[in-house]
């Protein structure tokens, strides 16, 4: 078991939000709240991110983008929906272009309600996400270990290693 | 024998020193911005986490290239701390950078490709100062060998103040700090996502960080080389100067904005020419 929870890197994506929640997310990084003291870094790169923060609802144009961002993040990963818009669609729910909350497109783990969600609530949501991230990481580690063992057995049993054992 | 022990020490302790310096950097930066900042050991936590993530790489050769980058950088530092030719060290370091360049462009991502070409421009910007520093050492000590340079009677900086200024100046580029962090930033956000490292995830990014730490320790050694002489007390002076330079870099990093590449090229060449070039002329005349 390794302590991955000390270094959660965050990717923030703004769906069709009114920008209220985004400003609050960025406020978390300011000296007042200073999310970096938990090791949180707001990175812009999905390949290096652990936690995906989604603000705003999903519309027909950004659905593919959100999906791709989620797919590009290496496992283990956690998704947090911030603000009522990302949770359910919020005030924009009835709009013709809105599909709904973030969970219509990617599996959301933690919902942070509020309009706009306050920085305290956002940090609380991320802290919960961090625990989940640690849990997932432990599971992932175990899975990889067992997979390695199985692969070893397989190669011992029949020496033709046709099984490539690609990415988990 | 001593040489082997020194380079072994480097291979073992350089990541520790580099990581601690990195942590100190983040802590001091945070304090300069009025924040609490992450714990001192944060870089090690990051490395540990990156090691445990799933590796997604567009091209399988990326890992191979990153490992080559790491090994070349270790070789650079090991040669340096073993007291070999300093010119050789910098050539090996350039080779290492080439591997990094290829690791970035092999993915084909527009962000990392632009980052990689900017890395080449950065190399163009700092190489003259680096090579001139080597020439300076040769002119005043009569040798390129690090082992002989540290045994000089007076510190090289007495003859080479201009070279020292130029080297410290380009150190900002080498350490990827503002205003010259154009290929990839030390900090999270920049206009190119993560520039050069955009496509490095999980273990590959961990390798990148580790290599950075080796590189930082090597560069600190070169800064110290300007100060060290045959008197053992000078080692303390060298360490003090390294810390002052490190603090200066953090200060510059925190109070300047990123510049465009052409401005970087102009400024760094002008500084190199003015300080190292003039110093070179004086050395040549007095020979
Ligand atoms: S929840 Fe409110 S503040 Fe946040 S994006 Fe939606 S409308 Fe804006």
Query: pLDDT tens digits, residue range B87-129?
Result: 999 999 999 999 999 998 888 888 888 888 888 999 999 999 9
- Compute φ and ψ for A94, nearest 5 degrees: -85, -5
Q: What is the pLDDT of residue A64?
A: 92
Domain assignment of residue A22, yes or no? yes
Q: What is the pLDDT of residues B44-100, one digit of tens each?
A: 999 988 888 888 888 888 899 999 999 999 999 999 999 888 999 999 999 999 999
What are the structure tokens assigned to B115, written together?
């980052």
Domain assignment of residue A143, yes or no? yes
Domain assignment of residue A26, yes or no? yes
Cα B160 off chain centre by: 20
Q: Is A82 helix (H, G, I), strand (E, B) or coil?
A: strand
Q: Which residues of chain A approach chain B closer than 8 Å at the C-beta?
A: 2-4, 6-7, 31, 34, 36-39, 41-45, 47-48, 50, 72, 74-76, 137, 140-141, 167-168
Q: What is the pTM of this model?
A: 0.89
Domain assignment of residue A4, yes or no? no
Contacts B30 to A, Cβ<8 Å: 34, 36-37
Q: What is the pLDDT of residue B211?
A: 93
A15/chain B closest Cα distance in angstroms: 18
Q: What is the pLDDT of residues B205-248, one digit of tens each?
A: 999 999 999 999 999 999 999 998 888 888 899 999 999 999 99
Q: What CATH number does the domain containing A131 carry? A: 3.40.50.12280
**Percentage with pLDDT > 90 across chain A:** 27
Domain assignment of residue A136, yes or no? yes
Pocket around ligand 1 at a 6 A CB cut-off: A 17-18, 20-21, 55-56, 83-85, 90-91, 115-116
CA–CA distance, B43 with B57 (Å, rounded to integer): 22
Q: What is the pLDDT of residue B201?
A: 80
Domain that holds residue A16: 9-167
* Distance from residue A111's CA to the centre of ligand 1 (Å): 13
Going by C-alpha positions, the residue among B74, B92, B86 that lies closest to residue B7 is B74
**Do B53 and A31 lie within an 8 Å CB cutoff?**
no
Whether the Cβ atoms of residue A36 and residue B30 lie closer than 8 Å to each other: yes
**How many Cα neighbours within 13 Å face the side chain of B153?**
0
Among residues 63-102 of chain B, which lie with CB inside 8 Å of chain A? none
What are the structure tokens assigned to B248, written together?
């200066």
Taking CA atoms, A108 is separated from A51, A55, A111, A147, B132, in Å, by 11, 12, 7, 27, 56
Whether the Cβ atoms of residue B197 and residue B50 lie closer than 8 Å to each other: no
Taking CA atoms, B16 is separated from B202, B209, B239, in Å, by 20, 12, 16
- Sign of the torsion angle spanned by Cα atoms B45, B48, B53, B55: positive
SS (H, E, C) B197-243: HCCCCHHHHHHHHHHHHHHHHHHHHHHHHCCCCCCCHHHHHHHHHHH
Domain assignment of residue A1, yes or no? no
Cα B253 off chain centre by: 15
Going by C-alpha positions, the residue among B195, B210, B202, B200 that lies closest to residue B62 is B200
> How many domains does chain A divide into?
1
Domain assignment of residue A3, yes or no? no
Domain assignment of residue A2, yes or no? no
CA–CA distance, B215 with B67 (Å, rounded to integer): 14
- Compute φ and ψ for B252, nearest 5 degrees: -60, -40
């Amino acid at each position: 078991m390794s302590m991955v929870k000390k270094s959660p890197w965050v990717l923030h994506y703004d769906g069709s939000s009114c920008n209220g929640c985004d400003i609050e997310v960025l406020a978390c990084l300011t000296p007042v709240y200073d999310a970096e003291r938990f090791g949180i870094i707001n990175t812009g790169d999905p390949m290096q991110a652990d936690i995906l923060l989604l603000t705003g609802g999903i519309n027909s144009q950004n659905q593919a983008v959100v999906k791709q961002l989620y797919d590009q993040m290496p496992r283990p990963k956690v998704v947090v929906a911030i603000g009522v818009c990302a949770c359910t669609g919020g005030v924009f729910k009835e709009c013709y272009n809105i599909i709904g909350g973030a969970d219509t497109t990617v599996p959301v783990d933690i919902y942070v309600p509020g309009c706009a969600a306050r920085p305290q609530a956002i940090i609380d949501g991320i802290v919960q996400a961090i625990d989940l991230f640690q849990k997932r990481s432990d599971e992932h580690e175990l899975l990889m270990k067992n997979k390695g063992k199985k692969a070893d057995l397989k190669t011992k049993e029949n020496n033709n290693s046709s099984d490539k054992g690609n990415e988990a | 024998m001593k040489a082997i022990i020194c380079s072994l020490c480097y291979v073992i302790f350089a990541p520790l020193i580099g990581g601690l310096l990195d942590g100190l950097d983040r802590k001091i930066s945070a304090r300069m911005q009025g924040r609490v900042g992450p714990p001192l050991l944060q870089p090690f936590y990051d490395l540990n986490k990156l090691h445990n993530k799933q590796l997604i790489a567009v091209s399988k050769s990326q890992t191979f290239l990153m490992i080559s980058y790491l090994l070349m950088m270790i070789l650079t530092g090991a040669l340096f701390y073993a007291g070999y030719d300093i010119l050789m060290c910098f050539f090996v370091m350039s080779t290492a950078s080439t591997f990094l360049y290829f690791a970035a462009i092999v993915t084909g991502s527009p962000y990392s490709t632009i980052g990689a070409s900017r890395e080449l421009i950065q190399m163009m910007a700092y190489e003259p100062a680096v090579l001139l520093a080597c020439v300076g050492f040769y002119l005043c000590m009569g040798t390129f060998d690090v082992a002989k340079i540290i045994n000089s009677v007076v510190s090289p900086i007495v003859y080479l103040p201009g070279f020292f200024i130029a080297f410290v100046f380009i150190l900002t580029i080498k350490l990827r700090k503002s205003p010259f962090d154009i290929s990839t930033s030390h900090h999270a956000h920049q206009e190119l996502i993560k520039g050069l490292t955009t496509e490095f995830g999980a273990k590959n990014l961990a390798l990148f960080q580790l290599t950075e730490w080796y590189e930082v320790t090597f560069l600190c050694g070169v800064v110290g080389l300007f100060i060290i002489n045959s008197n053992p007390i000078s080692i303390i002076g060298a360490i003090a100067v390294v810390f002052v330079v490190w603090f200066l870099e953090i200060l510059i990093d925190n109070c300047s904005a990123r510049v465009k590449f052409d401005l970087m090229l102009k400024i760094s060449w002008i500084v190199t020419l003015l300080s190292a070039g003039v110093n070179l002329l004086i050395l040549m005349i007095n020979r």
